[in-house]
Structure 1
Amino acid sequence: MPKILIILPRGETIRNFIYTDIVKELRTHYHVTLHAVKPNEPIWELLEEHSDELIELQPEKFSYIYKLFFEIFDLAHNRYMWSEAAKVRWEMRDVEANTIRKKAIRFFKKTVARVLANQRALVFLEQIDAWLANREQQIITHRNCLKAEKFKLVFNTSHSHARIALPLIYAANQEKIKTATFLYSWDNLTSQGRVVPRYDYYFAWNSKIKADFHSIYPHIEEQQVLVTGTPQFINHFNDDKCLAKNDLYLKIGLKPEDNYFLYSSGMSHHMPYEPYVVERIADIIKAIDPNLKLVVRTYAKDKGDVFDALKHKRKDIIIPNVEWEKNFQTPLESDQAFFIALMKNCIAGINVASTISLELCMLNKPAINVGYNPPGKDIYPYNYTRFYSFDHYKPIVDSGAVQVAKDEEEMRLFLEEAIQNTDNFSAERSALVDAFFEQQLGEIVKDNFIKFIRQSVNAN
C-alpha cells in the first residue's frame, strides 16, 4: 500500500479526523502513519487503533534567531492584511508593551514590519523563512526519517496554532514530498499569522475562504486550493453521535417539561466581564418567564475558573462541566455528543460573534448575538461590538440569519421573539447555511476529504 503521513498537531484535529472516521476510511487505501500529540492514554490507545504506525509529536525547538525573524515576519503579514481582526491584534500587542523597554522593542519591530508589509517582500520572506528553518537540527532529523519512509503525502490537519507540526512540513518540502493542509478555521486567514511553509494543496471550508486565500496569497495557483467543507460539523448530522434528549436532561438536572436558552461563552481575555453579562441575561430570561432556564456552555479552551463565582452565586444558572482533556485542548467524544444535544434541544443560542452561531443556523435554531459591552463596565481596550465588523463575521450579520442585540432591551425582545416563534428567520438561516457551506455538510465532507487526498497523492 502507498504510505501517507497525517499530522494531528492539536486536540481538535483528533475530533475532526479521528472521531469522524476520516482517517479510518483512509486506511482502506493507504498505510497511514500518524504523528500526533498525546493528550492522555485512552486517546492515545484510540489513535493506535486508527493508524498503522503512531509517533508522538515532540515540541518544536527553533533557535532564537529563527523565532525573532518569524515574529517580525508575522508582524509584517499582519500589517499587510490590515483586516479589522489584524488591527485588533496589533492594538492588543501595543497595550501589552507596558514598559519603556518593551515599548522600544515593539516600536523597532513595528517599524521593520511596516517596511516589509507588501506582497513582494512577504514572498521573499517566505524564502528566507524556509532557508532559515531548513538549517534547524530538528528539520534535518525529520528529513532523514522521511527519506527512509518514502511517503506519498504529508497532510497537516491544521495550518494554524500548530507550530509543533511545522518541522515535518519543512522537511517534507526539502525532500520533495507532496504536502497538504486543512485551513483550520473560517476566521484564521484574516485574524491569524501567515500560512507557512508552503504546501502543495490547501483544503478550504468554502469558495469564499478559497477566494480570500487567493487574495492574500496571489502567488499560489488556483488549482492548489480545494473546497472540501469542514469536518468539525460532520457528527452534527449523525443521530448516533448525539446524546438523547432524556439523557441530556438527566445529565444537567432538567425536568422533561423544562425549556432553556443556551449561552456559549468566549475567550475571557477578549470578552472581559462576560459572567456579568450572562448573569444579567439570566435576569432578563427570569423576568420573561420564571420557569425558563439558562444553560451556559463555557469556552473549553479558556481558564477553567472564569465562571466559578457565578456558578456558586447563581444556582438557577446551569453551568455544566466541559468534558475536554486539557492537554492539547482535546474534546472528548462524550462531550461532542453532549454539546450537539445542547444545541439541538435549546430554544435559542446566545453568544458573542462565535462559530457556534453557524452551528445553530445549520441546526435551524435561533442565534442571538450580544452586540453591546458589559453595562457600566470600562473594558478598554476591548470592545464586544468590534467583533461584528470582522471580515469573517460581518457577512453572517448582514445575512439576517443572526440577530445582534445592541443593548439589553433589544436582547429581551429577541429572547421573547425566539420563545414565541422559533421559526422566525428560519429562511435566512437556511439561506446562510446553503451559501456558506455550499451543500458541503455531513458525510459529504468525509467523502470530499477522501477524494481530494487521493487526488493529491496521485497528482503528478
Structure 2
Amino acid sequence: MKVILLVPDGVGVRNYLFSNFTSNLLKEGNEVLVYHNLSDSAIEEIKINKPEINNFKKIPDFIESPKARLLRETLAYARLLRNEKTLKNKTILKFWSPSKKGFKKKILYFIAEVLGYLLSNSYLLIKKADRFYEKEVSKSKSSKSTENLLVDFKPDIVLNLHQRAPITSPIITAAKKNSITTATVIFSWDNVPKARLISRYDYYFVWSNLMKNQLLELYSEIIPTQVKISGTPQFEFYSYANLYEDRKVFLNKFGLDENKKTICFSGNDISSPYDAVYLKDICEEISKIDKNRRPQILFRRCPVDMSDRFDIVLKKYKEFVFSIDPDWKTGKVNGDSFATIYPTINDNRLLVNTVKHSDLVINLGSTMAHDFAILDKPCLYLNYDPVEDSKFKVEDVFNFEHFKSMEDIEAVGWINKKNEIYNKIFEGLDTPEKVGKERKEWLRRIVLHPTNNNSDQLSNLILNNN
C-alpha cells in the first residue's frame, strides 16, 4: 500500500511521526510519502530520529483566492451558529475570534458574518457552500501541482494529520478528483465543535465514541461507517520505558530537589491571558509555607508561548520555582505559533519525565490533566477570575463543550478561590487518591483504551480499510 501523509505544520510531528504510527505503516513493503509544510531543520530532526521515514516532499505554496477565503470564513461562522443551537452552548461562539486588523480584514469578516448568519438557517445551503469552496480551491496552482504528484506516486490513501489547516484543502480536492481515498485525524479533544473541519473526507479517525457521536451530530452528511475510533498516539509515549530517567538525575538536572514534593504548573498559550497571574497567586501561597514542608514548582510553559509574561514571577520566586521549557524549535525568525514551530524528539523525554516526577498538576483547563491521569496523578483546575472586571471569564472556559464529558464525575480537583490554594495543594499532595478520584474514568471517555497501542489501532485501520 502507498500512503501520503499530509503534515501541514509542526503539531503532527510529535504524535504521528515520532510515535510508532509511521513505522507501523512502513512495514511489509508499504510506502509512505510525507507531504509537508515543515522547515528544513524539522525534516532533519525527523530523519535523525526516524530514519525509516525517508520520502519527503514539500507542499506547494497555497494562497487562497479572496473568494475561497471568504467562503471558508463564512462556513466557519455559519457552522458555529448552528453548533451553538444544536449543542445549546453559548460558549461555542467564543471560537469565533478573527483578527480584524486592517480595513480589508474588517470588510472580509463583516461580509463573512452576514453571509454566515444567512447560511446558518439552512444546512442544505451550508453543504452547497462547502462544494463551492472545494471547487474554488481546486483551481489553485497547489491543486494542479498535487495532481501531478498523485499521478506519479499513485497513493491508495491520503491522510491529513491536521484537519484545520487551509493549505491541505487543495490537496484533498485533487485526491477526490483522482478517485483516491481521503481521510483525516481529528487532532485534539476539543476540535469538533470549533467548525474548522475544512474539507470532507471518506474517513475520519477520532479519539473516542464520544467524539464520533459529536462528529455525526454536527455534520449530518457524515455517516457512521465513515468514522473510525482509533484513539490518538498523543499519550502513547508514557508507555515507552526508554524515555524515563531516574528521578534524582532528571530533577537535579534542572535544579529541583528529588526529596521534595513537586507541583507542575502547566501554562496555556497567550489566548489564556492570566496564566502568569495564576502562577503568582500560587507562588504567594506557597511562599507562606515553612521551607521544610514547602513543595517546589516545576513550570512547563505552552510550547508556542515564547512571551516574557512569566519572567517577573519566575525571578521573584526562583527559590522554589524551576522552569523546564519545552524543547520545540522554529524554522523561522520570531515564529510563535504552531504553524512555524516543531517539537524535537527530546521534548518527549522532557514531558514524560515532567509527569512521572511531579506529584500534582495545576492549570486552567489544560489537556495535561489527561497526561497526568495516564500515570494516575491528580490535577487541580483553577476556577476563579484572578483579575477583577476582566472580559476573560473562567466560567466560559469550563462551559466549553469538551468539558461536558466530566459533568457527572470527579475528574479533577477545583481551586475556586485564591485562598483555597494552600489547602487544595496539600490535599492533592497528601491524599492524591481523593482528588479527582475518577480521573481514569474521564480519560476512558476521552480516548480509546488501552492508550499504549493507539498507533497500532490507527495504522491497522488504514492498512485494512482499503
Whether these two folds match at TM > 0.5 is yes
Aligned equivalents of 2:90 and 2:137: distance in 1? 30
Aligned equivalents of 2:193 and 2:146: distance in 1? 31
Aligned pairs (5 A) from 1:161-310: 162-191=165-194, 193-268=195-270, 270-290=271-291, 291-310=294-313
Give 2:146's aligned residue: 142
Q: Classify 1:58/1:314 alpha carbon distance in 2 versus 1 (closer, same or farther; 3 Å).
A: farther
Give 2:92's aligned residue: 86
Give 1:452's aligned residue: 461
SS in 1 for 2:184: strand
Give 1:14's aligned residue: 13
Q: Give, in angstroms, the shift of residue 62 of structure 1.
A: 1.9
SS in 1 for 2:76: helix
Aligned pairs (5 A) from 1:113-152: 113-117=116-120, 118-152=122-156
How many matched pairs? 447
Give 2:34's aligned residue: 34
What amino acid maps onto 1:168 in structure 2? I
Structure 1: gaps of 5 or more residues: none
Q: Is the 8 A contact 1:228 1:440 kept in 2?
A: no
Residue of 397, 400, 409 corresponding to 1:399: 409
Aligned equivalents of 2:102 and 2:12: distance in 1? 38
Q: Give, in angstroms, the shift of residue 309 of structure 1.
A: 2.8
Give 1:424's aligned residue: 434
Aligned equivalents of 1:62 and 1:202: distance in 2? 24
Q: Give, in angstroms, the shift of residue 251 of structure 1.
A: 2.0
Deviation digits for residues 177-198 of structure 1 (CA, Å, limit 9, x no counterpart):
001111111101113x332321
Q: Give, in angstroms, the shift of residue 4 of structure 1.
A: 1.6
Aligned equivalents of 2:263 and 2:155: distance in 1? 49
What amino acid maps onto 1:11 in structure 2? G
Q: What is the root-mean-square deviation of aligned Cα atoms in Å?
A: 2.2
Q: Is the 8 A contact 1:154 1:180 kept in 2?
A: yes
Q: Is the 8 A contact 2:261 2:296 kept in 1?
A: yes
Aligned equivalents of 1:87 and 1:105: distance in 2? 18
Give 2:322's aligned residue: 318
SS in 2 for 1:369: strand
Deviation digits for residues 319-339 of structure 1 (CA, Å, limit 9, x no counterpart):
222210134321211111111
Q: Classify 1:355/1:345 alpha carbon distance in 2 versus 1 (closer, same or farther; 3 Å).
A: same
Q: Give, in angstroms, the shift of residue 422 of structure 1.
A: 1.6
Q: Classify 1:426/1:396 alpha carbon distance in 2 versus 1 (closer, same or farther; 3 Å).
A: closer
Aligned equivalents of 2:186 and 2:314: distance in 1? 36
Deviation digits for residues 48-77 of structure 1 (CA, Å, limit 9, x no counterpart):
723352112344222222112222122212
Q: Give, in angstroms, the shift of residue 89 of structure 1.
A: 2.6
Question: Which moved further from structure 2: 144-153 or 75-84?
Answer: 75-84
Q: Give, in angstroms, the shift of residue 389 of structure 1.
A: 0.8
Q: Classify 1:274/1:131 alpha carbon distance in 2 versus 1 (closer, same or farther; 3 Å).
A: same
Q: Is the 8 A contact 2:233 2:454 kept in 1?
A: yes
Aligned equivalents of 1:425 and 1:104: distance in 2? 49
Give 1:5's aligned residue: 4
Residue of 357, 366, 377 corresponding to 1:354: 366
Aligned equivalents of 1:37 and 1:43: distance in 2? 14
Q: Give, in angstroms, the shift of residue 106 of structure 1.
A: 4.3
Q: Is the 8 A contact 1:285 1:412 kept in 2?
A: yes
Q: Classify 1:21/1:99 alpha carbon distance in 2 versus 1 (closer, same or farther; 3 Å).
A: closer
Aligned equivalents of 2:258 and 2:90: distance in 1? 44
Q: Classify 1:76/1:395 alpha carbon distance in 2 versus 1 (closer, same or farther; 3 Å).
A: same
* TM-score normalised per structure 1: 0.91
Give 2:377's aligned residue: 365
Aligned equivalents of 2:160 and 2:138: distance in 1? 18
Q: Is the 8 A contact 2:92 2:401 kept in 1?
A: no
What amino acid maps onto 2:36 in structure 1? A
